[in-house]
């Protein structure tokens, strides 16, 4: 690694597992100091101890005081906040819109959207107080770009996270604070394993089949996008959503059109106009 994040301090919610954990590992390898903010005390403490220049802060992103405390831990322990990653999440409510209990809907949005709002709010406050030109990064999803990629509440929250990202980016740009999101496709993590009940090997094969690039994605690929956005290489990037999905949204299903015999499937008049000028 090349020390791209040397001297930077980051808070990562959901940093104890999956995408957050991989991001913590890559940030640490690139020289960042970290607060791992998660509800999973055992995994979070173990990861912080392993990484060294990192502390764990038990955080429930639904609770405003917890989010504020994680950011305070960064400024008190490491002296500043350069990067806030709002990443904690789960699948939440699944099932038909007709059957979804209101409380399932509310609980999903409380973590997946309100938690991101709280992270943006308290990171912006900390950066404003210290006049830090930091960066705020949110984990969206391809489920935030179109329907059919996630359950209703999850997809709604992720669409809203993208809206929040752009809206907060526009407010904070004059202060030099950049706000961006990463929208992963299916990544082999405990979240997707819990959703599908499939083992890693089955998930890998399914993902390879669904992706135009023929690739399954692992948390490291998403960590790479966060590392870029947190680094000075992205100094001119704000209000963006970087999709990392092995081409799934570019071409949701791999068509077989290219395998057919050459033909023109359309009105003959259009072809005639091109052929005869
Ligand atoms: N895995 C995928 O295919 C995928 C795709 C697109 C987006 N995402 C998003 O990536 C993010 C991370 O998911 P993952 O796949 O790494 O899952 P994961 O289950 O591996 O990790 C999620 C982490 O969030 C923590 N968490 C859950 N609720 C929390 C709360 N209220 N407060 C604090 N921490 C909490 C968990 O303890 C866990 O450590 C989520 O926002 C998810 O929606 C995942």
Question: For 118-145, how does the pLDDT look when each residue is reduced to its tens digit (9 = 90+)?
Answer: 999 999 999 999 999 999 999 999 999 9
The predicted structure's pLDDT at residue 149: 86
Is residue 60 lining ligand 1, measured as CB closer than 6 Å? yes
Q: Which residue has the tokens 């929040």?
A: 164
pTM for the full model?
0.94
- Report CA torsion sign: 140, 146, 150, 156: positive
Residue 261 pLDDT: 79
Ligand 1 geometric centre to CA of 88 (Å): 5
Residues 118 and 67 sit within 8 Å (Cβ to Cβ) = yes
Q: Which of 85, 116, 118, 115 is nearest to 10 (CA)?
A: 85
Comparing 4-18, 40-54, 205-219, 249-263, the range with the smallest average pLDDT is: 249-263
Mean pLDDT of 171-179: 98
Q: Pick the residue with more confidence: 91 or 253?
A: 91
In the residue annotation, 154 being an active-site residue is answered as yes
Q: What is the pLDDT of residue 266?
A: 73
For a pocket test of ligand 1, which of 189, 211, 249 has the largest count of ligand atoms closer than 8 A to its C-beta? Answer: 189
For domain 9-276, the CATH architecture is 3-Layer(aba) Sandwich (3.40)
Q: Which of 86, 136, 91 is nearest to 114 (CA)?
A: 86
Task: Kindly state the DSSP code that residue 187 receives in the 8-state scheme.
Answer: B
113 Cβ inside 6 Å of ligand 1: no
Q: Whose CA is nearest to atom 9 of ligand 1?
A: 139
Q: Once rounded to an integer, what is the mean pLDDT over residues 227-255? A: 91
Task: Identify which of 183, 12, 9, 184 has the alpha carbon closest to the alpha carbon of residue 85.
Answer: 12
């Amino acid at each position: 690694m090349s020390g791209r994040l040397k001297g930077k301090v980051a808070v990562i919610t959901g940093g104890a597992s999956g995408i957050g954990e991989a991001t913590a590992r890559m940030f640490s390898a690139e020289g960042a100091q970290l607060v791992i903010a998660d509800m999973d005390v055992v995994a979070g403490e173990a990861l912080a101890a392993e990484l060294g220049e990192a502390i764990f802060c038990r955080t429930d992103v639904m609770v405003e005081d917890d989010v504020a405390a994680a950011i305070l831990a960064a400024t008190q322990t490491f002296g500043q906040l350069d990067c806030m990653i709002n990443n904690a999440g789960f699948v939440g409510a699944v099932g038909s819109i007709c059957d979804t209990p209101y409380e399932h809907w509310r609980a999903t949005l409380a973590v997946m959207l309100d938690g991101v709002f709280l992270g943006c709010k308290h990171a912006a406050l900390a950066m404003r107080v210290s006049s830090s030109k930091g960066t705020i990064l949110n984990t969206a999803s391809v489920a935030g770009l179109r329907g059919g990629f996630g359950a209703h509440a999850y997809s709604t929250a992720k669409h809203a996270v993208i809206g929040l990202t752009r809206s907060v980016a526009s407010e904070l740009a004059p202060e030099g604070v950049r706000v961006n999101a990463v929208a992963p496709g299916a990544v082999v993590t405990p979240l997707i394993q819990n959703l599908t009940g499939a083992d890693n090997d089955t998930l890998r094969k399914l993902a390879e089949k669904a992706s135009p690039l023929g690739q399954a994605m692992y948390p490291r690929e998403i960590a790479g996008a966060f590392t870029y956005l947190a680094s000075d290489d992205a100094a001119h990037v704000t209000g963006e959503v970087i999709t990392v999905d092995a081409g799934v949204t570019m071409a949701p299903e791999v068509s077989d059109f290219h395998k057919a015999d050459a033909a023109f499937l359309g009105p003959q008049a259009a072809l005639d106009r091109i052929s005869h000028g």
